[in-house]
A and B are shown apart, each in its own frame.
Chain A
Amino acid sequence: MDVFGSFSLLLAFVCAVYAFVAGIVAIKTRHPLLIKSARQAGIATCALIFVGTFSLIYLLFTDNFSVAYVVSHSNRDLSSFYKVAALWAGQEGSLLFWSFLLSIYVISVLIAYRNKNGELMPYVGVILAGVQIFFLTLNNFVESPFKALGAMQANGTIDLLTRQDGNGLNPLLQYPEMVIHPPNLYSGYTGFTIPFAFALAALLARYPGEKWIHLTRKWTMIAWCFQSVGILLGAHWAYAVLGWGGYWGWDPVENASLLPWLTGTAFLHSVMMQEKRGMMKVWNVWLVFSTFLLCIMGTFLTRSGVVSSVHAFANSQIGPWFVSFMALILVVCTVAYVKNRDYLASENQLDSIVSRESSFLFNNLLFLVACIAVLSGTLFPVFSEALSGSRISVGAPFFNKVMIPIGLAILFLTGVGPLLAWRKTSQESLKRNFGWPLVISLAVGASFWMVGYRHLYSDLSFVLCAFVAWTIFLEFWRGGKVLSARTGMGMVMSMHELAMRNTRRYGGYLVHFGMVLIFIGLAGAAFNKDVQKSMNLGDSLVIGPYKLVLQSGDTKAEANYTAQRMILEVLKNDKQIMMLYPEKRNFQANQESGTMVSIYSSLKEDLYVVYAGQDPDTNLPVIHAYLNPLVKWVWLGGVIVVFGTLLALMPNRRVALALQATPETAPTASAVRQGLQPSIPLREGHD
């Protein structure tokens, strides 16, 4: 099967090269058969990559320990569930997984648009094939996952070997979320290839601006949603498995996943400027190019060993390949832009500084500054070593100091932006839209001040969260009220109907509300506290309102590991509320350790308990307890973000016939909000 898999990938490489070359010739000659042939070669490439990937999965499931990758990342006792995770546990497998997920997108695009967009698709096909060629080169010639296990002999020959068992999967990866976190994150990384391909194709085909935006909106949102879910699942995994009490440590690999998310988010906002006003066309093209480049850079940072990270794969030789690929993309994008930039000229001018347009400009500025701050901070140790000869670390405190103010400014714009009208916002409209939110948020600020709690950033975060949440509520409320008056439906049903009629806009608001909840959760981190104690049986540990009593400990043997478990009674105000069972696991195959944190989670706080192991000096079990307020809001916010994105992806519900009886002169909620006459020309689309 390893030969079969290896051959499939080689054939996939050949097909991708053919799709690329035939596609270029087809663009020049416009020969319909050649266009079709190139497209089918693209589909064949994807199918062959699927075969290669399933071959590796088969080898993992059948414990084929003659393959080096299977030996390194699996073992006989590893459960089937985690044998799937072994696919992306190592360098070679994860690169193949990249190709696999990219192929899902590519085959979907090639099939979905096989009879559409006849002039554009050959360009798209060539660009997608080009990206696939790069990854297939790595899969075939640099980091092949099908290498046989062998030993070099003195005479230079290699003896093929078969081991009885493998080294097993990294214990940190043996957690349910690790089976879904990487696929989500990778789906985000790979998904941005589609808007990139369409943007570059439209530029090469000299299409003026907006067309590729319409074509790729859903693909971009899908990629963005996967990226968001992937980041949040990664944070939850770090929280539940690593046992350090936190969920975001500004590790280089975490940062790498955040970079394309930041530019992708900026892009999702700035496309509205282009759709509505025909502005920022150049900016949008470059945002998509940058997002794709950052996806490649994220993969590079994770795998090249250029920055040290607890997540990163060990130093490898693939760094130069990624750097060359990024340089090539940059050159191609720059040449395409320079040659065809005239077709991206802005068609409108800015009427007022107090307008939706300028809020988008500042929104994009903040996202970009956030992205550059994270990128420069992540790479600073490398730069400092190269330029000053001394490697200077940049850890979490630096990122917190830089990113919190930027994050709060973005949160502020989240509240302000949607309430500003396109073109110009009147003073009356400002008063009407910002009056109550301002009063509510100032009341929150005053409450904090009066009770004597004055933590600047947390206070500000809560104040801004109140402000944004209230503006979102007002948007639903006012729209619902207008609809309710027209249709006679109740307010809740009207708001639901409203959301279904303009899914993009109200889905966006839901995403914003999810972000508000996430910010509430993040602000809670300012109140974290922890206690660590060596405990005898019957000893207790007090943290906040909780008292933890060590009742007993036991050992349980599972197929793949042995766990030492502590049994703790949790009391609150002297009343037992539950038992917690933190574990320390030892994995036999690789003699590595892992923790299994036990968490009592509520909306108010998480009681997070780690069994750290036995104190090396006293042999007593050491319990590390953390009290982390509001963490659950982060996960809850993530769920809302996903719901909002899914809503925004849904088609708008058609307006009911009953509405036709309504006088045409009745102002719409949007017109009331914007303080504008309905006659002001804006393009098709939704805000």
Chain B
Amino acid sequence: MIKTKRLVLTLMLSFAILPLWVVNLTAQSDRAKQVGMHLKCMCKGCDMSAGGCSHPGGAFSGPCPTAKAMMKDVDEHIAKGETDEQIIQAFVNQYGAIVYVEPPKHGFGLVAWIMPFFYTACGLAVVVFFIGKWRKEPKPAAVAHNLSDGTKISLEAMERAREQARRETED
């Protein structure tokens, strides 16, 4: 019993010190790279962001020439004192909406952001509806199922169908 208590305490302690173990590992990156991460590399060969381009399969596994040129442009925009939004807009003006790594939160791009909330809400409504319906429904013993042609299927018929399935199948 003492052994098991020790085991429990060790496990609890391990969970408690987990954060101390990983906490010194924070990431840092410069502003140009941050902005570049919001811009798609327009080489049409890697589908990565300009700031994170490593161009898999390329002769050089780092930023491809297109990404490098884009990052150089980002540096120039930063040097002019432009905000992140202004820099991204400048690229959109040059390449179109395809340059966004993620959809913009305005115009048609907003639809992409709204959709997850929309179908989560719809799904929740459906779940709440069924929970309410199932809680209000009388005990199934009193229920006769409606057939698609408007007639009723009795519980006996249902049980016969079940028995037939049982008879005709083996696990």
User: B112-164: which residues lie under 8 A (CB-CB) from chain A?
Assistant: 112-113, 115-116, 119-120, 123-124, 126-127, 130-131, 134-140, 143, 145-148, 153, 158, 161-162, 164
Return chain B residues, CB-CB under 8 Å to A447: 16-20
Asked if residues A308 and B127 are in contact (CB atoms below 8 Å), the reply is no
Kindly state the separation between the CA atoms of A340 and B90 in the bound complex, as whole angstroms. Answer: 58
- What sequence of 0s and 1s flags, for each residue 456-477 of chain A, a beta carbon within 8 Å of any chain B beta carbon? 0000001000100110010000
- What sequence of 0s and 1s flags, for each residue 389-408 of chain A, a beta carbon within 8 Å of any chain B beta carbon? 01111111110011000100
Return chain B residues, CB-CB under 8 Å to A279: 134
Return chain A residues, CB-CB under 8 Å to B115: 373, 376
B37 within 8 A of partner (CB): yes
Contact residue among A118, A342, A473, A527 (Cβ-Cβ distance under 8 Å from B153) = A342
A256 within 8 A of partner (CB): no
B98 within 8 A of partner (CB): yes
- Distance between A583 CB and nearest chain B CB, rounded to angstroms: 11
**Given A119-B168, A393-B101, CB of A624 within 8 Å of CB of B135:** no
Asked if residues B161 and A207 are in contact (CB atoms below 8 Å), the reply is yes
**Given A373-B116, A466-B18, CB of A595 within 8 Å of CB of B169:** no
A448 within 8 A of partner (CB): yes
Asked if residues B127 and A365 are in contact (CB atoms below 8 Å), the reply is yes
Asked if residues A362 and B100 are in contact (CB atoms below 8 Å), the reply is no
Asked if residues A612 and B139 are in contact (CB atoms below 8 Å), the reply is no
Which of the listed residues A251, A396, A627 has the most CB atoms from chain B within 10 Å of its own CB?
Answer: A396
Asked if residues A491 and B4 are in contact (CB atoms below 8 Å), the reply is yes
- Distance between B151 CB and nearest chain A CB, rounded to angstroms: 10
A117 within 8 A of partner (CB): yes
Between A and B, how many residue pairs show CB distances below 8 Å? Answer: 250
Asked if residues A251 and B47 are in contact (CB atoms below 8 Å), the reply is yes
- What sequence of 0s and 1s flags, for each residue 353-380 of chain A, a beta carbon within 8 Å of any chain B beta carbon? 1000010011001001100110011001
- What sequence of 0s and 1s flags, for each residue 5-16 of chain A, a beta carbon within 8 Å of any chain B beta carbon? 000000000000
Asked if residues A395 and B19 are in contact (CB atoms below 8 Å), the reply is no
Asked if residues B148 and A338 are in contact (CB atoms below 8 Å), the reply is yes
Kindly state the separation between the CA atoms of A343 and B165 in the bound complex, as whole angstroms. Answer: 11
Return chain A residues, CB-CB under 8 Å to B131: 350, 353, 358, 361
- Distance between B79 CB and nearest chain A CB, rounded to angstroms: 20
The stretch of A237-245, A287-295, A671-679 that contacts the partner chain: A237-245
Asked if residues B19 and A451 are in contact (CB atoms below 8 Å), the reply is yes
Instruction: Give the A-binding residues of B (Cβ under 8 A).
Output: 4, 11-12, 15-23, 25-29, 37-38, 40, 44, 46-49, 52, 54, 56-62, 65, 96-104, 107-109, 111-113, 115-116, 119-120, 123-124, 126-127, 130-131, 134-140, 143, 145-148, 153, 158, 161-162, 164-166, 168-171
Instruction: Give the B-binding residues of A (Cβ under 8 A).
Output: 116-120, 171-172, 202, 205-208, 211, 214-215, 241-245, 249, 251, 279, 308-310, 338-339, 341-343, 345-351, 353, 358, 361-362, 365, 368-369, 372-373, 376-377, 380, 384, 387-388, 390-398, 401-402, 406, 440-441, 443-444, 447-448, 451-453, 462, 466, 469-470, 473, 491, 524, 526-529, 532, 544, 584, 592-595, 604-605, 610-616, 622, 624, 627, 629-630
22 residue pairs bridging A and B, Cβ less than 8 Å apart? A120-B168, A172-B56, A242-B54, A242-B56, A243-B61, A309-B47, A343-B161, A348-B134, A349-B137, A350-B134, A376-B116, A384-B103, A384-B108, A390-B97, A391-B98, A392-B109, A393-B101, A397-B101, A443-B12, A470-B15, A584-B61, A593-B58
